[in-house]
Amino acid sequence: MSNDNGEMSLPIHSNGQPLLQIKDLHVWYELKRFGFGHAGYVRAVDGVNFNLEQGEAIACVGESGCGKSSLMKTILGLNIPTKGDVVFDDTSLSVTRGNDLREYRSKIGYVQQDPFGALPPFMNIQTILEEPMIINGISDKDERQRRIRKILEEVKLTPVEEVLPKYPHMLSGGQQQRVVIARAMIMEPKLLVADEPVSMLDASVRVEILRILRKLQESHNLAVIYITHDLSTVRYFSEFIFVMYAGEIVEFARMQDLLDDAKHPYTHALLEASSDPNADNALVQREIPKGEPPSLVNPPPGCRFHPRCPHFMEGICDVKEPPNFEVAPRHLVACWLYDENIAHKDAL
């Protein structure tokens, strides 16, 4: 399913106004000029569309440099869209500034990749969790303590009295990430963005952290965007998934449909490279697709994956950008192999 520009439009929700709408989003960074002339743009996000309703979880998967971090920063209100828009809780990011932007950001929780780097080392856990509430005007001390106690119990950091006086360096990596999650939840956000939340943790605690996130999503009717390079962890988490490559979405599906029957050659390569977070060798990652991701300043013509694709069709893939083919209900793929007029589908 594509819009008039041939860009992917993802039909996640079935009714009501979505909590989050990503509309033809472009995030381009201008390159520094040397002398006269225009140096060009890094096209980090290049025409992304999707919607997310309250209570839904979606995973965004792709290797480093695919645009997922720029997409995340824009949703968090840290980037202004170059073109297109992000509409969250009826607030349009493209026209929101000042105090309204601060309020926009306060409604989104953010779980960082590196828990130790995310927590101020000179603050104890009590202060770390209380500070966002003070900044956002929650003046009732009893209410602040109620929220702190409740969220620490939900992330399973107990006994609360023993945890609160501790400093981040006194906790394990898994415990630090629970504090990061607790801080992200303390303002009771409607949306949580989790950026590689388990990639820096020991294999033994990854699944437990993902289960905590899943439980929070269900108990708080929270919308969650889970960003990762590792397909093996998403099965524990979301209902829907999309795969990004070189600033674009190349495949979208229900989680199980994609894991059982992936269509895009790039998704196949990611699946082959993924490891099981429950396995003993979970830290051993196989190489994912041969070759380098393309330049985002001058992306290849046609399909951006064509220089690395084992199913590349000369004169087709390098000429015209593939539209999105609906291969099953709510399963979209941007690949010429799924054009019924091209007889190469058996290759996969």
- Interface residues with ligand SF4 (CB under 6 A) are 264-265, 303, 305-306, 309, 311-313, 317, 322, 335-337
How far apart, in whole angstroms, are the C-alpha atoms of residue 271 and residue 279? 16
CB closer to ligand SF4, 115 vs 294: 294
Give me the count of residues in the chain: 348
- What would the two tokens of residue 68 be? 């997922």
Beta bridge partners of 224: 57, 192
- What would the two tokens of residue 157 be? 């950091």
| Radius of gyration of the chain measured on its C-alpha atoms | 21
CB closer to ligand SF4, 8 vs 148: 8
How far apart, in whole angstroms, are the C-alpha atoms of residue 333 and residue 336? 9
Burial (CB < 10 A; 0-12, 13-18, 19+), residue 231, is: buried
Q: How far is the CB of 335 from ligand SF4 (least distance, A)?
A: 3
Task: Look at residues 286, 246, 249 and name the one whose alpha carbon lies nearest to residue 270.
Answer: 286
CB closer to ligand SF4, 87 vs 262: 262
3-state SS, 219-286, equals: HCCCEEEEEECCHHHHCCCCCEEEEEECCEEEEEEEHHHHHHCCCCHHHHHHHHHCCCCCCCCCCCCC
Q: How far is the CB of 308 from ligand SF4 (least distance, A)?
A: 8
Q: How far is the CB of 270 from ligand SF4 (least distance, A)?
A: 13
CB closer to ligand SF4, 235 vs 344: 344
Beta bridge partners of 281: none
Q: How far is the CB of 58 from ligand SF4 (least distance, A)?
A: 22
- What would the two tokens of residue 57 be? 């979880």
CB closer to ligand SF4, 203 vs 313: 313
CB closer to ligand SF4, 10 vs 335: 335
Q: How far is the CB of 67 from ligand SF4 (least distance, A)?
A: 17
Q: How far is the CB of 250 from ligand SF4 (least distance, A)?
A: 7
**268 φ/ψ sector (left φ>0, alpha ψ -120 to 50, else beta):** alpha
Q: How far is the CB of 328 from ligand SF4 (least distance, A)?
A: 17
CB closer to ligand SF4, 58 vs 309: 309
How far apart, in whole angstroms, are the C-alpha atoms of residue 299 and residue 305? 9
Q: How far is the CB of 317 from ligand SF4 (least distance, A)?
A: 3
CB closer to ligand SF4, 147 vs 306: 306
